[in-house]
Every structure is written in C-alpha cells, then in structure tokens.
Structure 1
C-alpha cells in the first residue's frame, strides 16, 4: 500500500450513507484512495416500508425491506465493515480514527457522518438480523392482539396500515398541535390530511400528549381517558449522534444535530462531512433529501482529495411529501409554484402500493 494513499470512511449505511458510498466507489481510484463504509447492521432498513412490515406478515416484506449491501460498491471498490462507532479522534494533521464498540480503530483522512436517526417503539430495531426478525414478529403480535391502538404523536401512516389489516380496531392518534404535520406545510394541506385520516374512522385528539406509555387505560396530560390497550410511541427520529460529541463542544446543536457549512463540512473540522437526517439544516428530515446531499458532498470530497477547494454548496430542496393511508389512500404535497396537492391515485401509485421498495433496492445496486 502506498504511504500517500488516502482513506475515506463513511459512518452509517442508511439512505444518505449508502448513496454517498456508492457515488464515491464509482469515482475514486482504488490505488490512491481507500473507501470504508461502517454500518451498525449487516443490512439496510427501508424505513418507509417498515411501518407496514411491523404491522402485518402479508407479502413477507422482510425479504425485501432488509436490504443487503452485497452490490452497493461499484465494481467492488471499497469495504463494508459492520460495527457501531462509539467515538471519533481527530488529529491536528486533519486525519484521525473512528473507534468501534469492539475497540477497533479505523483510520480516516476524510470522514463522512451519516448515522441517521434513532427511533422508538416498532422502529427501534436491534442490530442483529435474528433479533430484528423477532422484533418484527413481536410488534405484529402486539397489533393483532390489541383491542384498541393509541398512536402517541401524529404518525398517521401507521394508522392507515393498521386499518388496512384490522379495519374494525379502534385507532386513536394523539397529537400535540392543533393540526396534523407541522407548519412547514400549508393549512389547506394539513386539513386535507386530517380529512383523509378521519375518513377511515381514525380518531384524532389534538393539543394533547401521552406521557406514560405503560399505564392502561391511557390518560392524556389533560386527563382525557383513551380507549385502547396498546400505546405505540410514533415520535419522529432523534439524531443518532451521541458519538459525535467526542469531537468537542460546538459541533452539535441543542437538538443533537451536526452543524455544517453549505459544503456539508463541519466548520471546525474541514475534513469531516455530515449529511442526511442528522444535519442542522432548516428542512424536513426525509430520505428523499439524501441523494442531493450525497451528490454535493461527494463532489466536494473528490475536489479536496485532488488538492482543490470544496466549491459545491447546498441551498436546500423544495419540500415534498407523500403521506400514505394504507395501500389505496393518501395525500401528497409538492412545494412548487403555488403548492400542489394530490390525492389517492397519485399517493397510492407513487408510494402506497409498494412503498418504493423496488426503487430503494435499485439504489443499493440490486435488481429489484
């Protein structure tokens, strides 16, 4: 190995980390640059489909939603290492090491942080494949055995999947705001989502919270008693950035997001990049944002490797969302022009029927 060979390490094999790894593997010269993807699991999880996956065994989605990394690297250019990063060491010479839970150290000259989010409830998947499969079965049993289900936050996609499988079960969403979603989206669209959800007999409790997930019957913060014997935490994800604190103060904001420049570099560490859900950027956290993040960061990394300056800058993307309500219903919003809203046919065709599983597998280099 050449003494001047540079090392790129990517932490996280989800949408953002896998995308930039695939781009870089197609661009770098293996004789001068090594590439390593470190991922906590030996497979990726396509989270939008995990909502259906944990609700029903129909279609054996686990066969397709747990996505292997076998074909991710273009021409096999790079290495996949399964492990969980616990800390980062940065040297004064703008290189360093990531330390795994096993104590193993992996050297980097350029580091990309894309650890994704940590979740609660059905989406809190373990790392081991056997444990993941048991986790899936466990939640399917919980949904099947429940007489009524309370979703503690707004995640109406879960409500729709439950109604597809168990149309007679009582389903209640408890949401802290006066409308579903958040103020990123216009009120007209938020009302449309509410109408679509309630059309299936789903009850919504606004301006309230569930604080205790273990007590049945469930009581909200305002002392409203809810009908149901299964409380499901359906909060949004939290940045999986605990290990990034080892870089020192000022790298993370108060929410645990990584502060980045428009080049996706951490300003105090110009050889470390961050992309995906974990960055401190004013936009909705969605897998659909990952390709653009990855393209810009990859271009800047390649420029830096060649002795140039990272010149590509990220300016954001239009807000788009498809909210499925089971396989056949849903609403969509596109932040173009005056704001375009679409209903069941578009939402079902684009996402609801197949949850974009085939498209996602192709992004990992698989045929379907």
Structure 2
C-alpha cells in the first residue's frame, strides 16, 4: 500500500482529499490528512463578523465533517517534514511515511514581527480580523464604540485575500452610516503600496470609491512600530498616523513547520513551480494554496483552481507522465464596497483585472470591475457554495480553473 499524505485540513487540503479519494485506487493508495485543529473556519466570513453581518456559528464547523470516508484523518500537530527520508514526524512522536506529500499548511498572521503590535493593547485597541478571535473581539468593540479615528492598515505584502483590508474599510463606512454615527468616525486606509489596490489597473479604475466614501488614504507607509501608549503607528520615515482603533493586517507567514523543516523562503512559503504546483526541491512533494510562494493571490478561489489542476498532475506523476504546466495564477474575487454592492475582479499571472462579463461572455450575469447589487448577492452566496461545493471538491459549473478570455477586454502585463 502506498501513502499520500496531505498536511493541512484548511480549504486547500480538504479540497485535495475530496478530489483524490475518488481518483486513487483504494486497494493501492492510503490518503492521510493531518491537521492540529478540529474546527474548520470559513475565513472569508471573518470580514463580516465585526459588522454583525455573519454570526460566529456561520463561520465555523467541525473539520471532520468535510473529510471524505476512506481518508485517514489525524488531529495532531506536525513537528517536522523529513523530505530526504520521505517521512513526516508528528508532535506525539508518530512517524508517517509517504510516497507523495501535499503541503497545504496555509499562512498565519505574525503580529510579533512588528514592535508593539502584539503588546498589551492587542485585541483591545489594536485588532486583526484575519483570525476568528480577532474578528470576534473587534465585533464586540464596535458594538460599544462611540467613534473616533479608525485606521485600517496593511503591514506588508503578500497577504491572504489582498482585497480584504479595502473591503473592511468600505464595510466600516457602511456600518457606521447605518448606525447613524459616520460623522463621528474618521476612517484612514494605510498601505505600504503606492495605491489602494494591489493591481495598478484596479487602483486607477476604483480609487474613486475611497474618495466618494470619505476614506483618507496614506500610501507607501512601511511600518516600523506601533506606539500603543500614544495610539499611533510610525513608519521608517517617521511618518505618524494616529488612531483610536487600529485594525491591522500583520505580516503573513507560512507555517513555522516549514521553517523547522528547512523548506521555505524568508517568510516560510514553499518554493513551488508556478505552473505545475510541484515543489522546486522535491519531485514527490507538491504544494498549493496559501503555503506556496507563487506570485498568485492568496485566496480561496486560487486554491480551488489549483486543486483541480494539481489533482490531474498527481495522477500524471503516479503514472510517470509529464506534468501539465497549466496553472496560470487564475483568481476571481468579489470586493464588497458597502451599501449592498460589490465588485468582481478576474485576473491571472499575465493579466491584471479585466473588464467584461462573468461567467458567460456578453451575458454575465456578473460584470467585472463594476459595482452592482448582483455582485453583492454573488459574494453572499459564496458562503453556501463554500460549505456545500468548494471544499467538497465539487466543480463549480461554468467556472474554469484557467482564466477564460471570452467576453473580456485584455491588456498584457508582465508575468
């Protein structure tokens, strides 16, 4: 019996277990999934929790529910990957031998990387919304907050779901309007980039949203420290931005397991072939989702597209066939803009977000790079799609893993 081991039971790892369980001969392959956590979180829902749009029960379920029958599911912390010996060592001392390893260990926030960020004011006046705990604490703070300076801040790139901080600022504008206290809240968006959006074309097309909503913008801000005693963030050029509530996206890093195993880059992301999803250093180890160093968006849609392509490449690897160089960095993301509207962007390695229609050329019903209530409804529907289709490895109809060019207006960019 041969062994395929998947490290991580988040979005990417759970999808891969569902894809592969029906593809690999049960009398020849044993699939094992290892994850220390028993709860599976709908992480896009963390954006909505602070604004009481979602409840805590809507963003979490038992992880075992989504691991298919026939897959060995182990709830233990992973201590080490030993790639030269084809083994994984668990914290409890168990050794797992593998013939194929899939790394899907995701990314985590590291607020300790910035001086003063994870100090005594953490989850009191300094918050994240990239964790369940941070998002819930921020919800409780907003419920009783009477106003002041709200700063939404990005520490550095890459981050999980690059548009989420902007969405947070837009939803905050809408939230405080609905509470009748927008005039008491000063919102500032602070980014290390030269513009609000990670893609220049999107920044040019959509910058007006910040202006229209009265959201101030501070760009090229490379944070050096959080002065929690005086409620301000300070960058290396000594620029200061004062706050009453700081909502920050800390440095995102790959799992510490990757560093312990000597397999990652400076941020613990796994060097991975951007087209095949095979790791650069070990031919029987593959990686996908947020764990990789790919120049693609760290988002659930990307993991979904990667999983469909990686499944075929795993089968090709087993059969001794050349791997398909097929993954093109495809991502599509809804961007909540508040007031019951949203944008939809579609892009890949070589194309910035494009205009056009999705998923049907000329028909839609979703329009790209344009605000609409239909896009907002798509964003809200995604939670059902996530729990019932996406992590179960069910193909989403009419949505291809690679980016379709039909019905879209393209401009070439550098890969």
Tell me if the contact between 1:18 and 1:364 (Cα under 8 Å) persists in the aligned partners: yes
Q: 2:362 maps to what in 1?
A: none
Q: CA deviation at 1:233?
A: 1.4
Query: CA 1:142 to 1:296, structure 2 compared with 1: closer, same or farther past 3 Å?
Result: same
Query: CA 1:59 to 1:270, structure 2 compared with 1: closer, same or farther past 3 Å?
Result: closer
| Distance across 2 between alignment mates of 1:211 and 1:191 | 28
Give the root-mean-square deviation of aligned CA atoms.
2.9
Aligned counterpart for 1:349 among listed residues 355, 377, 400: 377
Q: 1:100 maps to what in 2?
A: 90
Residue 207 of structure 1 aligns to a residue in which SS?
coil
1:229 matched to 2:244? The reply is yes
Aligned counterpart for 1:7 among listed residues 3, 6, 28: 3
1:157-236 alignment runs, 5 A limit: 157-167=167-177, 168=182, 169-182=185-198, 184-186=199-201, 189-213=202-226, 214-221=228-235, 222-235=237-250
Q: 1:56 maps to what in 2?
A: 51
The more displaced of 319-328 and 172-181 is 319-328
Residue 192 of structure 1 aligns to a residue in which SS?
helix
Q: 1:129 maps to what in 2?
A: none
Residues 228-262 of structure 1: CA distance to partner in whole angstroms, max 9, x if unpaired?
A: 3111212463222x3224544xx433443212234
5+ residue gaps, structure 1: 126-131
Query: CA 1:64 to 1:29, structure 2 compared with 1: closer, same or farther past 3 Å?
Result: farther
Query: CA 1:215 to 1:314, structure 2 compared with 1: closer, same or farther past 3 Å?
Result: farther
Q: CA deviation at 1:361?
A: 0.3
Aligned counterpart for 1:29 among listed residues 25, 31, 36: 25
Q: CA deviation at 1:85?
A: 1.6
1:256 matched to 2:250? The reply is no
- The alignment covers a number of residue pairs equal to 341
1:69 matched to 2:63? The reply is yes
Query: CA 1:281 to 1:314, structure 2 compared with 1: closer, same or farther past 3 Å?
Result: farther
1:75-114 alignment runs, 5 A limit: 76-92=69-85, 95-96=86-87, 98-114=88-104
Residues 89-108 of structure 1: CA distance to partner in whole angstroms, max 9, x if unpaired?
A: 2345xx32x22333333332
Tell me if the contact between 1:196 and 1:331 (Cα under 8 Å) persists in the aligned partners: no
5+ residue gaps, structure 2: 112-126, 155-162, 356-368, 395-415
Residues 96-138 of structure 1: CA distance to partner in whole angstroms, max 9, x if unpaired?
A: 2x2233333333221100111112543453xxxxxx5x65432
Q: 1:143 maps to what in 2?
A: 142
TM-score, structure 1 length as denominator? 0.81
| Distance across 2 between alignment mates of 1:328 and 1:320 | 19
Residue 212 of structure 1 aligns to a residue in which SS?
strand
1:358 matched to 2:384? The reply is yes
Q: Which has the higher contact order (CA 8 A, sep 6+)?
A: 1
Query: CA 1:312 to 1:71, structure 2 compared with 1: closer, same or farther past 3 Å?
Result: farther
Tell me if the contact between 2:47 and 2:135 (Cα under 8 Å) persists in the aligned partners: no
| Distance across 2 between alignment mates of 1:366 and 1:319 | 17
Tell me if the contact between 1:69 and 1:364 (Cα under 8 Å) persists in the aligned partners: no
| Distance across 1 between alignment mates of 2:393 and 2:314 | 26
| Distance across 2 between alignment mates of 1:48 and 1:104 | 33
TM superposition outliers: structure 1 runs of 4+ over 4 Å: 222-225
Residue 166 of structure 1 aligns to a residue in which SS?
helix
Q: 1:42 maps to what in 2?
A: 38
| Distance across 2 between alignment mates of 1:337 and 1:163 | 27
| Distance across 2 between alignment mates of 1:87 and 1:164 | 45
Query: CA 1:301 to 1:366, structure 2 compared with 1: closer, same or farther past 3 Å?
Result: closer
TM-score, structure 2 length as denominator? 0.73
| Distance across 1 between alignment mates of 2:15 and 2:196 | 31
Tell me if the contact between 2:233 and 2:240 (Cα under 8 Å) persists in the aligned partners: yes
Q: 2:12 maps to what in 1?
A: 16
The more displaced of 17-26 and 40-49 is 40-49
